Amino acid sequence: MTELERNFQKFKKITREEFFIAEEIKKHVEIKDTDTILDVGCADGNLSKSLTKDSTNITFLDVDEFNFSPQEKFIRSSFEEVELGEKFDLILSSHVWGHFYRNNTFGFCFKKAHDLLKEGGKLIVVHNSNKDFTGKLIEFSKTLFDQIEFDVFLDEFLEGADYEESYFDVNLKAETFRELAELVQVLLVVPDAIYYSKIEEMTRFLEANLEKPEFAINQRLLVIKKKG
Ligand SMILES: C[S@@+](CC[C@H](N)C(=O)[O-])C[C@H]1O[C@@H](n2cnc3c(N)ncnc32)[C@H](O)[C@@H]1O
């Protein structure tokens, strides 16, 4: 296992991010047991599974391999390439738009998601807003690393759309600033060797800018209705 994978598991455990994302979605979207859901960039699928009683109503999609039970429908493909012969009541796309942005397929994926919705269907987007301290951290990280993979959503695609938005925080808390610096790798997705060669600089930046080794990661939920 790489340090990035280890830090990712630790990050998920500390922040309980999936729980807070699911709570926010449930507050804003009425999900019926019969709704069909496409989970784009599903990873282990825990987020969409926590939204509905019957996981056989979910089509799980990820470009990487993940373990699902034989009753569950998992498709290993990129969203860009997948051909789906059905439309969905809900499409969940959580922390995945940064990938489309870097693949230069953001617009293509936004239209594809819209086309894959049934009439009255909803596209659910979750992404880090990069407001507050996270934004400052990203700006500093750009000075340390040539390439970082932070979350992105392009608001220009919301023009003319029928949508609701809400913001919520997920707290990232460590015992020490060094441990926090390790967990921050997850927000930047920098490979181990490169990241750990700058870990002292990252630790000092966090120490200089935070009172305690913790900060809130502000996230936005967008619920975008299919246009009639
Ligand atoms: C940060 S994880 C988010 C996992 C989960 N949706 C969540 O919010 O906890 C991003 C996931 O998107 C997947 N992914 C990246 N590019 C993708 C693409 N082009 N098509 C489908 N999945 C993709 C990755 O393999 C990864 O599992």
The residue segments making up the domain with residue 49 are 3-225
Question: What atom of ligand 1 comes closest to residue 66's alpha carbon?
Answer: 27
Instruction: Return the best residue to mutate from 96, 109, 189 for the ligand 1 pocket (most ligand atoms within 8 A of CB).
Output: 96
User: pLDDT below 70 — which residues of the chain?
Assistant: none
Within 8 A by CB and 6+ apart from 225, the residues are 120, 121, 122, 161, 162, 163
CA distance 19 to 80: 28
As for how many domains the chain has, the answer is 1
What is the DSSP code string of 101-118?
HHTT-HHHHHHHHHHTEE
Confirm or reject: Cβ of 99 under 6 Å from ligand 1: yes
Report the DSSP beta bridge partners of residue 123: 91, 224
Q: Where residue 149 sits, what CATH number does that domain have? A: 3.40.50.150
CA distance 62 to 76: 5
Confirm or reject: Cβ of 162 under 6 Å from ligand 1: no
Instruction: Return the best residue to mutate from 5, 11, 48, 63 for the ligand 1 pocket (most ligand atoms within 8 A of CB).
Output: 63
Q: How many residues does the chain have?
A: 228
pLDDT recorded at residue 227? 80
Confirm or reject: Cβ of 43 under 6 Å from ligand 1: yes
pLDDT recorded at residue 120? 94
Residue at token pair 């969409």: 48
pLDDT recorded at residue 106? 98
Q: Provide the whole-model pTM.
A: 0.94
